[in-house]
Amino acid sequence: MAKVVKFNDCVAQYNAMMADIKARRFQPIYLLMGDEGYFIDALSDALANTILTDAERAFNQVVVYGLDTDAGAVVNLCRQLPMMGSYQVVIVREAQQMSKLEALSHYTTSPQSTTILILCYKNKEQGRGLDKRQSLYKSCVKNGVVFESVHPREYEVDSWISSYVASRNLTISAKAMAMLKEHVGMDLSRIAREIDKLVVSLTESDRTITDTHIEQYIGVSKDFNLFELNDAVLKRDVARAMNIADHFARNQKSHPITLTITMMFSQFRQLFIYNYLQWLSRRQAKPVPSDTELMSIIGVNNPFALKELKANASRWANSRVFAVLGYLRTYDAKSKGVNSGGLDGGELLKELLLKIFSEA
């Protein structure tokens, strides 16, 4: 059985490949595949901009698209010799749309040393990637490098954002990160673009991205967002939570209830695990895990979020947390039209919050 690639493995390989590209350690074949387009685009762009000089690209770099070409044409391109240079580069974008893609194995089983072939295969749905049992995949593994791009889970995005921001010699506050995720969602390409815009906008003295920067340059309210709603719920601040919910109800396109429920479910799941660990520690007369261990176990990726969780955990017994998780599942179904009673997302959110606070 093929090994399941995890997001952290994907990030580690991506960083290693970027280091190799920067050091000009190239492979004859790059198969870039998976369901997270950001890494595929970033690697193919890095290769396209590094292997050849500007002058060489005019003669020795070809970009084709899977829908507009076929395997035979790509093989013929790969077998040509470079003009006035050491390499020729053939980039196949959207390779998943190419008919008879497997026929490329006629080349990949015996590639030319003067050609670098880059296949960008984006499978939007997990489990529908290139068949790893076929000759094309196996020959790419043997004669080149295969990179499998994995879409992160919600709890894995925070650490990636922190790393991306750090690569720009900046840090980001927990609230700013939550606001950014709410605005952009799980799309790493969009997150990267928004951070890059912030980098250009910030002054040299601004080394930390704050909620004020997100509000000023991206346009997300620092008072009415998911971070503030989760904070109000965690602290059982009914008035503030309902005020934010009212704002969400008036702006449902910017604040879809499905995303709101997903983020709230994540917070209460973390709270449930933390409470359980506390109970287990008391039962076994053992110390509670350290903050570093807690962050790993619970899935919290910044110390501030863990501090808030710990400070408010006593407000929520796990029997109540369990009931809230049940409400969140029920209202997730209602938000998708199951027994919604004709209520829209805004009304469902208010009703959900009243249910949650009835458990407080």
Q: What is the pLDDT of residues 91-114, one digit of tens each?
A: 999 999 998 899 999 999 999 999
Residue 35 lies inside a defined structural domain of this protein? yes
Same domain (yes/no): 141, 61: yes
pTM of the entire structure? 0.74
pLDDT above 90 (res 286): no
Same domain (yes/no): 65, 187: no
What percent of the chain clears pLDDT 70, i.e. is strictly above it?
97
Same domain (yes/no): 133, 18: yes
Residue 139 lies inside a defined structural domain of this protein? yes
Whole-number pLDDT of residue 124: 63
Same domain (yes/no): 249, 346: yes
Residue 208 lies inside a defined structural domain of this protein? yes
Q: What's the structural domain count of the chain?
A: 3
Pick the last residue of a domain from 96, 114, 149.
149
Same domain (yes/no): 112, 163: no
Whole-number pLDDT of residue 53: 92
CATH number at residue 119: 3.40.50.300
User: What is the tens place of the pLDDT at every residue in 128-180?
Assistant: 567 888 999 999 999 999 999 999 987 788 889 999 999 988 999 888 888 88
Same domain (yes/no): 28, 129: yes
pLDDT above 70 (res 256): yes
Same domain (yes/no): 101, 207: no
Pick the last residue of a domain from 149, 182, 209.
149
Same domain (yes/no): 43, 108: yes
Same domain (yes/no): 178, 288: no
Secondary structure, 3-state, the chain: CCCCCCHHHHHHHHHHHHHHHHCCCCCCEEEEEECCHHHHHHHHHHHHHHCCCHHHHHHHEEEEEHHHCCHHHHHHHHCCCCCCCCCEEEEEECHHHCCCHHHHHHHHCCCCCCEEEEEEEECCCCCCCCCCCCHHHHHHHHHCEEEEECCCCHHHHHHHHHHHHHHCCCEECHHHHHHHHHHHCCCHHHHHHHHHHHHHHCCCCCCEECHHHHHHHHCCCCCCCHHHHHHHHHCCCHHHHHHHHHHHHHCCCCCCHHHHHHHHHHHHHHHHHHHHHHHHHHHHCCCCCCHHHHHHHHCCCCHHHHHHHHHHHHHCCHHHHHHHHHHHHHHHHHHCCCCCCCCCHHHHHHHHHHHHHHCC
- For 69, the domain range is 7-149
Whole-number pLDDT of residue 125: 55
Higher-scoring residue by pLDDT: 124, 179: 179
Residue 1 lies inside a defined structural domain of this protein? no
Same domain (yes/no): 191, 243: no
CATH number at residue 204: 1.10.8.60
Same domain (yes/no): 138, 11: yes
